[in-house]
């Protein structure tokens, strides 16, 4: 499921996430083409972003479980302001989407394989992956195939 970027960039200057002990399984999963988040082993609550304990049970008895990769676009914007280095002039405006995962939590991402004029809130999407380097592969979302 993991795909190489069509034109691998020699120097990648966009922000890269620091990988922590807590978040390493997330990135390990993405590298393998598996989107996973934490679930509580006591009450089965899923949550994202990663945290040290279940926000309901407050216990640290949890595990990473693969999720469906399906969700909907809660909302999306086109970013015109040049806040970060790493986006080339022809990439503006770029799309940022807030995805509501089928399992409940929200996740920021971007949309691929769709033109802006076809994007809408509540659009059904599924995860895909874009390799950045040997450590980081970013989850992105495309229109759901079914």
Partner 1 sequence: MANQPDRSDLRNLRDKTAIVGVGTTEFGAIYRDLDPERSAYELGLIAFREALRDAGLKRTDVDGVIVSRLPHYGRMCEMIGLRHPRFVNVLPGEGRQSGIALQYAALAVANGMADVVACIYGNNGRSAGARYGGESRGISTQAMFEAPYGMTSPGAVTSLMFRRHQYRYGTTTEPLAHLAISNRANAALNPNAVMQRPITMDDYHGARYIAEPLCLFDYCLINDGGVCFIVTSAERARDLQHTPVLIHATSQASDITPVYVADDFWHEPMSQIADDLFAHSEAQREDLAFAQLYDNFTPTMLFTLEGMGFCEPGEGGDWITPERIGLHGELPLNTGGGHTSESYMQGWALHVEAVRQLRQDCGERQVDDAQYGLYACAAPLATGHILKRDN
- The footprint of partner 1 (CB under 8 A) covers 14-18, 20, 23, 47-49, 74-81, 83-84, 87, 93-94, 96, 98, 105-110, 120-122, 136, 138
CB environment 6-23: b (16+ within 10 A), e (fewer): eeeeeeeeeeeeeeeeee
Within 8 A by CB and 6+ apart from 111, the residues are 73, 76, 95, 97, 119, 125, 140, 141, 142
Specify the residue, 3 or 75, whose C-beta has the smaller distance to partner 1.
75
- How far apart (Å, rounded) are the C-alpha atoms in residues 71 and 51? 21
Specify the residue, 12 or 63, whose C-beta has the smaller distance to partner 1.
12
- For residue 6, the minimal CB distance to partner 1 (Å) is 18
- How far apart (Å, rounded) are the C-alpha atoms in residues 53 and 124? 30
Specify the residue, 45 or 98, whose C-beta has the smaller distance to partner 1.
98
What is the token pair recorded at 90?
């022809």
- For residue 43, the minimal CB distance to partner 1 (Å) is 17
- For residue 49, the minimal CB distance to partner 1 (Å) is 5
Specify the residue, 61 or 106, whose C-beta has the smaller distance to partner 1.
106
């Amino acid at each position: 499921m993991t795909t190489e970027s069509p034109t691998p960039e020699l120097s990648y200057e966009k922000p890269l996430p620091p990988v922590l002990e807590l978040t390493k399984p997330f990135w390990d999963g993405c590298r393998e083409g598996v989107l996973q988040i934490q679930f509580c082993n006591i009450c089965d609550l899923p949550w994202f972003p990663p945290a040290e304990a279940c926000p309901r049970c407050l216990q640290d008895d949890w595990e990473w479980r693969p999720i469906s990769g399906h969700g909907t676009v809660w909302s999306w914007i086109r970013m015109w302001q040049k806040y970060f280095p790493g986006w080339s002039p022809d990439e503006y405006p770029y799309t940022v989407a807030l995805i509501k995962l089928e399992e409940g939590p929200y996740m920021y991402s971007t949309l691929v394989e769709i033109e802006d004029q076809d994007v809408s809130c509540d659009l059904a999407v599924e995860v895909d992956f874009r390799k950045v380097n040997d450590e980081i592969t970013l989850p992105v979302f495309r229109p759901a195939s079914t």
